[in-house]
Structure formats: structure tokens, C-alpha cells
Structure 1
């Protein structure tokens, strides 16, 4: 294992997308070793290759990102979203829609789940909700846009049978998300650390960024929380994973705790 080359590569990855492999070079080596072998390059040479062949970043990001997800993940949080948060926006219309950003949406299970819950709430008319779903990995964005999932996929491990029958078209080997749910979601290939992310996403009412911050260091998390703060409208909500927190970072968010979950609300701007 070429530590010098790996450290250089880890630094390049950190600078580009905030994922921190600097303290876990062995894991990085495992993820990229086959690709390095295919190209017949050393790790050091691969760093130079990335600088010349910009499209190689797409392949590298596929290798180093973790895209494990499933429909109806974290039931208690989703219940809070449906029963407590959504009613606060029930008056929204097509001219002033509820806007939700699912950052790091992977293969689409999370934004489609939210869209199903919105449909279940019966609080919103046509066009009254917009869900922006983004991921840095182009391959998973393409998969998400298809709205099709293998019947053998772990994506359905927590999906209630009534929701499966109501919101999916049953095909031979796949389930396809029905149009009314799909049409509410717009997928984008975005890097959350892009300085122009606020222009790409626009102001939103709610942000979901679950099980992502665990891969970032403290400085990156602080930068992201500031970006989330800037993107959210006053009294907007931020949902993180159950193992993630931005408490104590002077982020401008108030933590809201319930008996079964927690999330954050943006304080009003002065």
C-alpha cells in the first residue's frame, strides 16, 4: 500500500466532496484497488489521472460513496414529519409550494417515501409540493429517476404491504413508483459542498440529510450546517440521522426533541 499516494488521493477526495478517508487509508485502498489495477496505474499516478481525466471522478465517487438506503427508513421520524410538520404547511399552493430538499438522496427511496407520505396526508393539491432530491453520484441519480426497484431488493425491507400495493406498479421482476408520487420529485446531480449549492437548490422549507454527516469531519459539518441554515426559510426544519448532531456548533438551529426522535428548526433571522 503506497501511503504517500493514498494520502494524496484522500486529500483530493476530501477537498472535492468532504468525505474523510485521511484516517482510514486502508478502507480507501480496498475501495479503489480494483480500479487502479484495471488502469494499470500506481496510486500516485491515479491522482494525476484524475487531474487530467475529469470524468474519472464519477467512477471514483461511485466506488467511495455508500448508498445503502430503503423505503420508510426511521419510522418514528417519518411519523413526526407526517403528523406534526406537514400540517404546518397545509395551506401551500402551486404558486407558493412547500419545497423540500433531500440531500444525498442515493437511489431515491427517501424522497419517494416523503412523496408517498405527502400523498397520504391529503393536505396538498396538485403542484403544491416540490421535492428536490440530489446526490453526488451520477449513477444512483439515474437509478432513482427510473423509479424502478427489483422485487428482491432490500429497499422494501420496511415497506408496509398496503403502501407497496397502493404506490407501486407491480411488474415481472420490479416494482415501479406510480406517476403521482414520481412527478413530485426532481432529481439532480449535485455536490453538497459546491459553493453554488444555494443557487442550484434555492430556498426551501425542509431539508433531509440523513446518515451522511457521519462521513464528514467537524469542519465540514460546520460548513454544511451553515449552508443548510442559509438555504432554509425562517422556522424551516432540518432532519438528520439518529446518530448525527449539530448541537453545540452555534449553527442557528434549535433542537426539537420528542419521545421517539429529534430534529432541528431554524431560528428566525434578525
Structure 2
């Protein structure tokens, strides 16, 4: 009985956000077991409860999403952005800003890193860059918007020397991202499979969606790749995780290979 109900819960999660636990029910069970005990509900009772309560649905999403991230993650990819991609957009102005979408931004380390790199590049004038950061998980999104990180957090494990002093204000037990970095980033609560996603994000020049597609099945990856293609401007760029590929899925993207990375460029329409 529990396996049947667990399968139903996995199907509900898949229908809502395409995170695929259908072939890994034990993992789903382990992620929700503490919540069932906390609520003193059976799996069958919980399955009905979560479908009728939006707040509980948010909690379920918190439980089943993975939010591993840190500042300046994947140094080689960031160097490619800094040295090759950003300079291509150096002539943008506040009337036609460089627009970057950090999809699945988790607790904010990645979009704030991108903003710090904008400052470090000295390529852009005031208002000529916009970073949109979105996530389906409201809890981590709230943390990202707060821009507060514990001094002992693993978020700082790859932080280059001198960057904390330059881009953070020191509080008692935490560092807070400075205002000039925070104002470059706009956060949105967003499900990448929402029908209104394109309207919410608008056209962008660069998308980073790293280590997210590994949780989707092929059909869902095709949907996401199609949405990305529609949202990215011609000659724009898409960065995925090193274990993710859409090479055989969307021929509209050209794969660019470097000695330490590969990423995608959208061709002219």
C-alpha cells in the first residue's frame, strides 16, 4: 500500500515541477519521513493533505529539492564568463542592459557571484546589467533575498582572497552582501514549467542553469531546453552543469568547447 501511495506522491511532484522521483521512491521516502512524523500522519493521509494545502506543498518542495551551492563555484566556467562572455556585451547601456538569468538560484551564492564578477570586470556602466535569479523553493529564495551568510558557512569555501572584505559587510556572526551588489540582482519565485515563465523572465542574453537538469527525465529536459531557446536572444549563451547536455536535444544551440568547459550559443534566427 505505501509503495502505491508513494508512487502517487512522486507523480504529484512530477506533474507540478517535473522533478523525477518515479524511479527512486526510496529516496523520496527518506526525504519526507521526518515530516510525516512531525505531522503524525500516515503516508496516505499526507498525500491527501499536501494536495489540499499550498503551504504544505511549499514545504514538500523544500524537502525534495537539492540546494548545494557556494560562492565562486566552478572556477573554470566563471573565468570563461569573465574573460570571454562579459566582454562581448561591454557596450550595453541602461537602455539595453545585459540580462542574465540565474535559474534555480538556491540561496543566492551564484547570482551574487555573477554580480561581483560584473563589478570586477570594470566593463559596465551603472544600470547596464540586470541579473534575474529564480527558484521554486521559497525558503532558500528568502535566504537569498536576505543576503546574510554565516561566517562559518561552507558558502565561502572557494571565495577568492580579498573578496569578502570588498563585497560583504561584517556583522556579528554573519557577512551581508553589500548593497551595490544586491541591487544588481532581482529575485523571483518561479517554477521553470510555469506557463507564464517566458513573460516573467523576458528576453535574456545569458542563462545559467547548472546541475538542475540531472533531476529531470528526457521529456522534461526537452521542454526546458525549448523554453531556454525561446527566452535567449540570438547570439546569447546557455551554461549548464558539467554533467548535463542538450547537444542532441535542441539543434538551435551551437556547442562551444574550451579546454576546461563546454557551453551553448544560440544562433541567429
Q: Same fold (TM over 0.5)?
A: yes
Paired with 1:203 and 1:43, the residues of 2 have a C-alpha distance of 42
Comparing 139-148 with 159-168, greater Cα deviation is found at 159-168
SS in 2 for 1:55: helix
Q: Quote how far apart the aligned CAs of 1:251 are.
A: 4.2
Report runs of 4+ in structure 1 exceeding 3 Å deviation: none
Aligned partners of 1:109, 1:214: CA distance in 2, in Å?
20
Give a deviation string over 1:220-242, Cα, whole Å, max 9, x none: 00100000000000011000011
Distance in 1 between the 2:54 and 2:177 partners? 34
Return 176-185 or 51-60, whichever deviates more: 51-60
Q: CA deviation at 1:45?
A: 2.1
2:177 equivalent in structure 1: 177
How far the C-alpha of 1:135 sits from its partner, in A, is 0.3
- CA distance in structure 1 between the partners assigned to 2:251 and 2:114 by the alignment: 26
Q: Report the counterpart of residue 131 of structure 2 in structure 1.
A: 131
Matched, 1:5 2:5: yes
Residues 222 and 251 in structure 1, CA contact (< 8 A), matched pair in contact too: no
Distance across 1 between alignment mates of 2:51 and 2:175: 40
Aligned equivalent of 1:155: 155
TM-score by length of 1: 0.98
Question: 2:228 aligns to what?
Answer: 228
Contact 2:206 2:232 in 1 (8 A): yes
In 2, distance between residues paired with 1:40 and 1:7? 20
Deviations, residues 168-198 of structure 1 (Å, cap 9, x unaligned)? 1122211111111110000111001111100
Q: Is the 8 Å Cα contact of residues 4 and 44 (structure 1) preserved in structure 2?
A: no
Q: Please name the residue that 1:246 is paired with.
A: 246
Match of 1:263 in 2: 263
What residue is the counterpart of 1:26 in the other structure? 26
Aligned to 2:44: 44
Which blocks of at least 5 consecutive residues in structure 2 are unaligned? Answer: none
1:100 alignment partner, SS class: strand
How many residue pairs get aligned? The number is 269
Cα-Cα RMSD = 1.0
Aligned to 2:54, the other structure's residue is in SS state coil
Post-superposition shift, 1:264?
Answer: 0.3
Separation (CA, whole Å) in 1 of partners of 2:61 and 2:251: 28
Q: Deviations over 1:196-215 (max 9, x none)?
A: 10011111000000011111
Q: Is the 8 A contact 2:133 2:186 kept in 1?
A: yes
